[in-house]
């Protein structure tokens, strides 16, 4: 039985799937462009299978998550991405890349959108991306690949923030330049 995501069950979905900002943005996207019956490519996340099929009523869902995202979160404070299914996957990055894959109803790719191969072009009605653009290092290339992945008249829905918006510096990893200088933009109490 499927239940449509509404303003009245946002909190229920957040609790059920251990998600936070993801659910209200999914609801907003649903109101603007809709999910029902669509083939969706999620860039920079991996919403749970039950959520996308039972509450968003998509036809298919493909999620692209950069392979080093969870590692990066651990390095900057032992965090884990809420709602991500990466930690629940038993597959290696090679098995979850773009090569030698047959698209199923639900797909998880541990890869970068910038590397999307041509066989995935014109496959998606909607690209859904929240809180991800500020993490993409080659944004012009990524946008070109996203456009190529869309079917004619497909839509892109994205919500993102400026890179420098994080009060705790979580968007700013410790950087070491070619001379060995270390730059750490996080507050001193958080720096390790």
- For residue 117, what pLDDT is reported? 94
Average pLDDT, the chain: 82
Tokens read off for 176: 């070491």
- pLDDT for 83 equals 45
User: Which of the pair, 95 or 53, is modelled with greater confidence?
Assistant: 53
Task: Please give the model's pTM, rounded to 2 decimal places.
Answer: 0.76
Q: What's phi and psi for 43, nearest 5 deg? A: -105, 120
CATH number attached to the domain at 10-161: 3.40.50.150
User: Residue 149 has what pLDDT?
Assistant: 98
- For residues 134 and 164, give the distance between their C-alpha atoms in angstroms, rounded to a whole number: 9
3-state DSSP of 61-72: EEEEECCCHHHH
Q: What is the pLDDT of residues 125-145, one digit of tens each?
A: 999 999 888 778 888 999 999
pLDDT value of residue 102: 78
Q: How confident is the model at residue 92 (pLDDT cuts 50, 70, 90)?
A: very low
**Ranges of each domain in the chain:** 10-161
What percent of the chain has pLDDT above 70? 75
């Amino acid at each position: 039985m499927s239940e449509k995501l509404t303003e009245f069950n946002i909190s229920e979905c957040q609790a059920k799937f251990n998600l936070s900002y993801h659910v209200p943005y999914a609801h907003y996207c649903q109101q603007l462009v809709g999910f029902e019956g669509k083939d969706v490519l999620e860039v920079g996340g991996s919403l749970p299978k039950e959520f996308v099929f039972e509450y968003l009523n998509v036809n298919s869902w493909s999620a692209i998550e950069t392979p080093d995202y969870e590692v990066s979160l651990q390095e900057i404070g032992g965090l884990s991405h809420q709602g991500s299914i990466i930690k629940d996957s038993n597959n290696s990055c090679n098995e979850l890349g773009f090569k030698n894959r047959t698209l199923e109803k639900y797909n998880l790719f541990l890869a970068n959108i910038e590397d999307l191969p041509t066989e995935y072009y014109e496959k998606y009605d909607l690209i859904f991306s929240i809180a991800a653009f500020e993490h993409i290092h080659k944004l012009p290339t990524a946008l070109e690949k996203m456009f190529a992945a869309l079917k004619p008249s497909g839509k892109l829905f994205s919500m993102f923030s400026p890179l420098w918006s994080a009060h705790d510096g979580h968007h700013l990893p410790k950087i070491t330049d070619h001379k060995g200088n270390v730059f750490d933009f996080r507050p001193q109490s958080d720096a390790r």
